[in-house]
A = this chain, B = another copy of it.
Amino acid sequence: MAKIVRNASVSSIREASEEILKFFGQGGLRHVYTVACGGSKAGLFPMYYLLNAEGKSFHSENITANEFALATPKACDATSLVVAMSAAGGTPETAAAAKKAKECGAYVVTISMKEECPLSENSDFHFVQDPALVSLGGQGLAVRLGFELLRAFDGYGLYQAAADGFEKLDAVTDKARADAEKKAEAWAKEHKDDFICYTMASGANFNVAYTTSICHLMEMEWVHSNSIHSGEYFHGPFEITDEHVPFLIYVSGGRTRALDERALRFLNKYCKEVEVIDAKEYGTEAFGAVEEYLEPMVLGGIGRTYMTKLAEAKKHPFLWRKYMFKEEY
C-alpha cells in the first residue's frame, strides 16, 4: 500500500475517508485510536469525543502517544484506524506510536505541518495541515475526518450540518477572537502576577481547558494550573475554591452547558476571580445541530487570545522555556 500525501482540503479529507472505507469495508472498522502528546493530543480530543458521542459501529480512544506505544491495546489490529498528530511531525513518541500502529496492521492517518517528517514515515495517509485556517488546521481536519467516518460507516444524519458549520468556522473564530480582545486584555492585566489559575470545561471542550492549563499557563507562562471537568468540580476540587483563587471557565453552548452553568453559579458565589468564556457570547449557535462539536475550535482560539494578552501583560513571551528543547529529558 503506497502512502498517500495530501494537503488538507475538503476533498482530500473525503478522499481519506474513502480510502479508509476501502481498507476496512463496511462494518470492518471497530476502533479509532487518536494518539498524540500534549497540545496535539488535546487537538485530537474533539474528534475522539465526536466519534464516541455519535458513532455506533466503532468507538474511539484518546491516548497519549508513548502510553499507546508501550501498552498498545490488544484490539489495535486490522480492525483499527490510528490517527496520529504532531505539529512539526518530529515528536518521537508520536512517531513511535505510528510505527507501532503499522506493525499491528492498523490503517494509519498522520497529520503534521510538514510533508516529510518522522511521523509520516509510518503513515498510510499523511495530511499536511494548514496552520493559517482553523477549519483546516490539525484539530479542524481531524473533526472533519470524524464526520466523514460517521457518514461513511454509520450513515450519519448530521453530515450536511457539519459541512455547513465548517464553512462558517473560520469567520466565526476570527470574529470571536476579535470580540474577546478587550475582555482578554483586562483579564490579563488583572491576573498577570497570579501564581495559579484553574481552568474548567465539559464535553468536547474539556481539552480546551486542558490545553489552556498545560500548554499555555504551565508551559508558556509558568503559572500553576489544573483543568477541572465541570462535572467533577463538586466531587472534590471545589473545596479549594476561595475568593482569590482564579478560575477561567469555558461554558458550552451544547448539551453539557448545564454542568458548566452549575459550576459557574457556585464560583460566582464564592470566588471573586472568575473569568467566563461563554460560547453563547461568541456566535457558535451558527453551527446549529453540530455546535458542541465545532465550538472547541472557537473557544480554543479565544483561549489563545487570552493567553497572548497574558504573555504581553507579564512581559513573558510565549517562546521562553526553562527546559523544553534546551535540557535533556
Contact = CB atoms under 8 A, between A and B. Distances in A.
Interface residues of A, number: 65
B71 A254 contact: yes
A259 interface: yes
Given A203-B71, A239-B219, A270-B323, A232 B53 contact: no
Nearest to A269: B327
Interface stretch (A56-64, A116-124, A173-181, A296-304): A56-64
A120 to B, nearest CB: 20
Contacts of A74: 53-56
Contact of A238 (B73, B223, B270, B324): B324
A323 B226 CA distance: 20
Interface in A35-65: 37-39, 41, 52-56, 59, 61, 64-65
Contacts of A238: 219, 323-324, 329
Nearest to A202: B67
B262 A237 contact: no
A214 interface: yes
Most buried by B among A41, A70, A219, A236: A236
A189 interface: no
A75 B61 contact: no
Interface in A250-271: 254-256, 258-259, 262, 266, 270
A70 B259 contact: yes
A79 to B, nearest CB: 9
Contacts of A324: 234, 238-239
Nearest to A324: B239
A293 to B, nearest CB: 11
A213 interface: yes
A266 to B, nearest CB: 5
Given A37-B235, A38-B235, A240 B255 contact: no
A64 B214 contact: no
Contacts of A323: 238-239, 241, 266, 270
Contacts of A229: 64, 67
Contacts of A239: 218-220, 222, 321-324
A202 B225 CA distance: 19
Contacts of A240: 218, 222-224
Q: Which among A37, A39, A223 has the highest number of chain B CB atoms within 10 Å?
A: A37
A231 interface: yes
Which 8 pairs from chain A and chain B are nearest by CB? A38-B235, A226-B226, A214-B236, A219-B236, A64-B231, A37-B235, A71-B255, A59-B59
